[in-house]
Amino acid sequence: MHTFHYQDGFLCCENVRLLHIAETVGTPAYVYSKHTILDHFQRLKRALSPLGAEVAYAVKACSNLAILQLMAREGAGFDIVSGGELWRTIRAGGDPGRCTYAGVGKTEDEIRYALEQGIYCFNAESEAELRTIDEIAASMGVKAPVAVRVNPNVEAGTHQYITTGRKENKFGVDLDRVEALYAAIHHEMPSLIIRGLQMHIGSQLTSIEPFVQAVNKVAPMAARLRELYGIEFFSIGGGIGIVYDQPLPAAFPAWWESRESRSHLHIETYAERLIPLLKPLGLRIIVEPGRMIVGNAGVLLAKCLYEKKGESKTFKIVDAGMNDLIRPALYQGHHEIVPLVQHGDDLVTADVVGPICESGDFQAQNRPMHDIRAGEYLAVLSAGAYGFSMSSNYNSRPMAAEVLVDGGTWTLIRARQTLEDLVRGEILPE
């Protein structure tokens, strides 16, 4: 579900007209729907309730404090990938005891900080990392809870940059080396406590098969590790894909009907397939969704600045660039683009491009869309995940504002950066 829809000709998030937000806070601006976020979280929680699974929100998908606070209050755990994400999560009221810490390159400072805060578990990705955690824990006189991230070598069927569970990827430890590594932890790393087993095979998976394959491959090992070392949890990672290429019905009246239905990963089917494989393990099951929670709960608002007709192309030049939303450039990500004020049947095929000095700076290419004119506002849909959190100041562009909508009201949850923000921390030599 997502609650972006046209009402009386205006695109709304829940009950708020996005045009009103655009005119008040300016563009580019990210807008998130509180109820959509909560609905996605609850749906997953409910679907996995026979397992009593822990839903640990992957902070990197969208890490604004207000979003983290929302998740903390709703009872989510957190999957973090840096000391900065842990700091932010605690600042937002998240419980460090519900944080799992992933990532191949944890620094000594980050490890020390996470130990001081008492996180639930380090999901370690190499033997060298485990030995470092062991040493740091010993020096602090504490025990560090760890799990090993296993790389099950399955094909996730997603973009190569977001596939993480193949032998060729930098992530995790090869399946056939994992048990020896647990033995080494047990015998040689006295300051570690073996707490679980983890995997994460990739992002934006639109088929259930890779999840099933990976769980089938790894579950027997989880059972053995429970016998041998008393592990308490098995985390199956995140990666649940969302639908990016489904336009709003009202935006494309006739045309929409003719489109074939999109491949779609249903949460309920995901749960139905995985529960029978996981339940018999008797372990605490953790899932780490990011995109599935926030992806379709957020849009990026922009304004069309200029139109340019070339010999072969029509360009719509907008005020949101790849520094605001990098997914099209980085992952060939697809985002639907619709006007904030509803149009009639005026379809054109256009490139929607930003102001950045890069040919990769586009939001859409050769896209049949409404003929959004200069001065009009538009929304880039499904931009809630890996949108703002991947934004940068490239081309000295201040980062966008962020807004959270709740029913009929909205709140600014991040002010647009100022020019002073652009040079904060920079030093002119005498």
Ligand X SMILES: *Cc1c(COP(=O)(O)O)cnc(C)c1O
Contact residues: ligand X, CB under 6 A = 58, 60-61, 79, 81, 102, 200, 203, 237-240, 288-292, 385
Rounded Cα gap, residues 250 and 372, in angstroms: 15
Which letter, b or e, does each residue of 136-160 get, where b requires 16 or more Cβ atoms within 10 Å of its Cβ?
Answer: bbeeeeeebbbbbbbbbbbebebee
Alpha helices in 141-208 (DSSP H): 175-188
188 backbone φψ class: left, alpha, beta (φ>0; ψ -120 to 50): alpha
Q: The tokens of 154 are what? A: 């399955």
Q: Which residue has the tokens 């494989």?
A: 277
Give bridge partners of residue 404 from the DSSP assignment: 32, 411
* Encoded amino acid at 298, one letter: G
> What are the residues whose beta carbons fall under 8 Å from the beta carbon of 227, sequence distance 6 or more?
none
Q: The tokens of 34 are what? A: 């509180």
Q: Which lies closer to ligand X via its Cβ, residue 328 or residue 339?
A: 328
Q: Is 357 a catalytic residue?
A: yes
What backbone torsions phi and psi does residue 429 show, to the nearest 5 degrees?
-65, 145
Q: Which lies closer to ligand X via its Cβ, residue 197 or residue 401?
A: 197
Q: The tokens of 262 are what? A: 């999109």
Q: Which lies closer to ligand X via its Cβ, residue 27 or residue 151?
A: 151
Q: Which of 13, 99, 121, 357 is catalytic?
A: 357
Q: Which lies closer to ligand X via its Cβ, residue 27 or residue 163?
A: 163
Give bridge partners of residue 377 from the DSSP assignment: 303
Q: What pairing do the DSSP bridges indicate for beta strands 54-58 and 77-80?
A: parallel
Q: Which lies closer to ligand X via its Cβ, residue 270 or residue 377?
A: 270
> What are the residues whose beta carbons fall under 8 Å from the beta carbon of 207, sequence distance 6 or more?
157, 263, 265
CB 293 within 8 A of CB 2: no
Q: The tokens of 285 are what? A: 């099951």
What do you get for the CA distance between the two ends of the chain, in Å? 57
Rounded Cα gap, residues 164 and 364, in angstroms: 26
Give bridge partners of residue 151 from the DSSP assignment: 174
Q: The tokens of 194 are what? A: 């073996």
Q: Which lies closer to ligand X via its Cβ, residue 149 or residue 370?
A: 149
Q: Which lies closer to ligand X via its Cβ, residue 237 or residue 339?
A: 237
Kindly state the smallest distance separating residue 53's Cβ from ligand X, in Å. 14
> Which residues are designated catalytic?
357
